[in-house]
């Protein structure tokens, strides 16, 4: 299963640097609790963002949007899904474009706040962000604590050194190898099993007497990719679009194993207590699918294969 997706050569320093940045005014250290603000005002009255036409989305009852912004937590180091554009020094990628299109449909502004991936869900719980949009797999485990608005499909991918010297063609070939991964991702769960359900691919390997998988875990995907480039790992595992992009950007030093592993949907994570926001986001996503903007964005990033059916 995927996390989500992330580089090397000229792009790598930029993306690794992005993990420390607070993007678009207000990094992952805490945006305001807009729900509490609206409540303090005795309930949100319709604003300029409220609906005025038959096709508009009514957000008058969505407390988080009453200030005209959608605060989004994201690990902006996972190209081509989300990354810091070197030329503009602004967030770019699939998630950014989809979020902006949905925000337009809601008549608000999307604001991305950078944070480490494994800290995003705790930050959402403490209301630092309104939502999380970070190539996050809408897994059954995560659905126990948050709701999701699903918007894309992706599996995990494996990248290896050019020429595939370790002959890694599937997850079974990771037995006895050293694998670099990003901390907190579903790739980690795939190898060792989800919380409360240990096992995973590593147990499959050891039960077959093939040797355990040694995992090297990093804070960002570019760091994990760099471990592969440096020869510290035999392979790196990330969401397939990210793995493919990393290989593409490696100046021929890396290649992607061509088979996706356990495709699953990405979702925008929303607190279970924020049902009105979740419903508004679903309507916004439905709107950009209907008007063709969703297809345009997928085509722009060459990610049509991940389109939701």
- φ, ψ (nearest 5 deg) of residue 159: -115, 145
pTM (2 decimals)?
A: 0.77
Binned at pLDDT 50, 70 and 90, residue 259 comes out as confident
Q: Average pLDDT of 28-45?
A: 39
Which tens digits make up the pLDDT trace of 2-26? 554 433 334 333 333 333 333 343 3
| Unique residue bearing structure tokens 């925008």 | 268
CA dihedral sign of residues 296, 299, 301, 304: positive
Q: Average pLDDT of 45-67?
A: 73
Pairing status of strand 178-182 against strand 214-218: parallel
| In the predicted structure, residue 27 carries a pLDDT above the cut 80 | no
Structure tokens at 169: 């063609």
Output the pLDDT for position 116: 95
Percent of the chain's residues with pLDDT above 90: 77
CA dihedral sign of residues 130, 108, 308, 243: negative
Question: What is the Cβ-side half-sphere exposure of residue 12, based on CA atoms within 13 angstroms?
Answer: 18
CA dihedral sign of residues 159, 165, 166, 171: positive
User: Is the Cβ–Cβ distance between 257 and 160 less than 8 Å?
Assistant: yes
User: Is the Cβ–Cβ distance between 199 and 191 less than 8 Å?
Assistant: no
| In the predicted structure, residue 140 carries a pLDDT above the cut 50 | yes
**Measuring CA to CA, which residue among 82, 30, 29, 25 is closest to residue 220?**
82
| In the predicted structure, residue 42 carries a pLDDT above the cut 70 | no
Q: Which domains does the chain have, with CATH numbers?
A: 11-153+264-306 (3.40.190.10), 155-263 (3.40.190.10)
DSSP 185: S
> Minimum mean pLDDT among 36-50, 159-173, 236-250: which range?
36-50
The mean of the pLDDT values for the chain is: 86
Output the pLDDT for position 41: 37
Output the pLDDT for position 53: 53
């Amino acid at each position: 299963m995927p996390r989500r997706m992330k580089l090397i050569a000229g792009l790598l320093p930029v993306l690794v640097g992005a993990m420390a940045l607070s993007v678009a005014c207000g990094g992952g250290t805490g945006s305001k609790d807009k729900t509490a603000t609206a409540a303090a005002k005795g309930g949100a009255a319709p604003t300029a963002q409220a609906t005025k036409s038959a096709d508009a989305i009514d957000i008058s009852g969505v407390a988080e949007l009453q200030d005209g912004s959608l605060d989004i937590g994201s690990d902006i180091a996972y190209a081509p899904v989300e990354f810091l554009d070197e030329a503009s020094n602004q967030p770019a990628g699939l998630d950014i474009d989809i979020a902006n299109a949905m925000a337009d449909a809601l008549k608000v502004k999307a604001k991305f706040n950078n944070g480490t991936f494994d800290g995003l869900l705790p930050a959402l719980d403490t209301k630092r962000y309104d939502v999380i949009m970070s190539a996050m797999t809408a897994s059954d485990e995560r659905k126990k604590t948050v709701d999701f608005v699903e918007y894309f499909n992706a599996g995990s991918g494996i990248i290896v050194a050019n020429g595939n010297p370790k002959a890694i063609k599937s997850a079974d070939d990771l037995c006895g190898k050293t694998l670099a991964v990003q901390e907190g991702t579903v790739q980690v769960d795939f190898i060792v099993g989800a919380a409360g359900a240990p096992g995973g691919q590593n147990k499959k390997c050891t039960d077959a007497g093939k040797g355990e998988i040694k995992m090297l875990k990093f804070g960002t995907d570019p760091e994990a990719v760099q471990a592969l480039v440096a020869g510290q790992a035999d392979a790196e595992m990330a969401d397939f679009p990210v793995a493919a992009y990393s290989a593409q950007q490696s100046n021929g030093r890396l290649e992607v194993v061509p088979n996706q592993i356990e495709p699953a949907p990405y979702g925008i994570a929303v607190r279970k207590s924020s049902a009105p926001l979740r419903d508004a986001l679903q309507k916004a996503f439905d709107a950009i699918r209907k008007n063709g903007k969703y297809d345009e964005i997928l085509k722009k990033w060459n990610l049509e294969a991940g389109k939701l059916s």
